[in-house]
Amino acid sequence: MERARATLRFSVQRYPPLFYLLVITLWCVSLDGIFGVLDGAPGLRFSPDLLHVALSIFGVGYFMRIVDELRDYEYDLVHNPNRGLAKGDVTFGDLYVALGLNAAVLLGTNLAVSWVRAAILAGIMVHALVLWVLEKHWVAYQRSMFLMIGIAIQLHVGHGLYVWVAHAERTGRPLNPQGLLAILAMVFLYLHWEVMRKAAWPGTTKLGEKLYSDEVGSTASAVIAFTVMAGAVGLFLWLTKSWLFLLPLGMAVINLTLFFKNRRPRALSGKLAARSYFAFLFVMLARATLGA
């Protein structure tokens, strides 16, 4: 029982449930609503199944976080010694049990609804484990942040496919091919968040931090982050015919300007990325609320 309590404490610290559940629910509801817009639906439609979708994405996100903690163990011993696994608050065995139970609940509850959804979740979990193996044994993967995200982004693709399939099953409509472009836009949005928050100016970072700007430079990494945001905006403008999506693009322009003007520590980059990311999600939600 003590091991279970230790694992629970660790999980709450490394994957705060209230925060992630709110963010993931916003992401799922917004994307599902956009799929409805593309189908010509009148607006957002909440249902117990949509809640189940959000909880499933939350659960697979927890699985991915635990794998990340296991994967980063040696790095954390040096750079983050106060984290639970590095400090010894939990063991590898504790986290293996958490992974197994989590996978069993996710696959069981989804098999009861749809074998396709269960298969997508299984694919996401297997891919997360493959990334762990790659980081252990592939030197090129260990050294390049861009190679890492290029392979790891398939996890985010899986999330989008899960919501897309679930939406079609819930509404009884065939899968809309335009949904794949919406998923691509969400991939671009995530890449904006990921690259922007890990871009910084020389001399403003902690020793040992892994950043995209280390590989291509501060200017190039910020421009890449802005470009993928512009790609996400362009796709949604084309798909939804809504000028609302220029709002997060304007936010990204402001953030890019602030990044170049205020050469502060990396914490600023994370704040700038969060502003653009959440602005985009709220515009998605607003557009979905308006309906087709």
Candidates 221, 228, 217; CA nearest to 189 is: 228
pLDDT tens over the chain, length 292 residues: 788 888 898 899 999 999 999 999 999 999 999 999 999 887 788 899 999 999 999 999 999 999 999 988 887 777 777 887 878 788 889 999 999 999 999 999 999 999 999 999 999 999 999 999 998 889 888 889 999 999 999 999 999 999 999 999 999 999 999 999 999 999 999 999 999 888 888 877 776 678 898 899 999 999 999 999 999 999 999 999 999 999 999 989 988 888 888 776 665 667 878 888 999 999 999 999 987 6
Q: What are phi and psi of 116, to 5 degrees?
A: -65, -45
Residue-by-residue DSSP string for 83-138: SHHHHTSS-HHHHHHHHHHHHHHHHHHHHTT-HHHHHHHHHHHHHHHHHHHHHHH-
Q: Please give the Cα distance from 32 to 168 (Å, whole number).
A: 10
Model pTM score: 0.94
Q: How does 96-134 read in b/e, with b if 16+ C-beta sit within 10 Å?
A: eebbeebbeebbebbeebbeebbebbbbbbebbeebeeb
DSSP letter (8 states) at residue 265: -
CB 211: neighbour CB atoms within 10 A?
Answer: 18
Strands (E), the chain: none
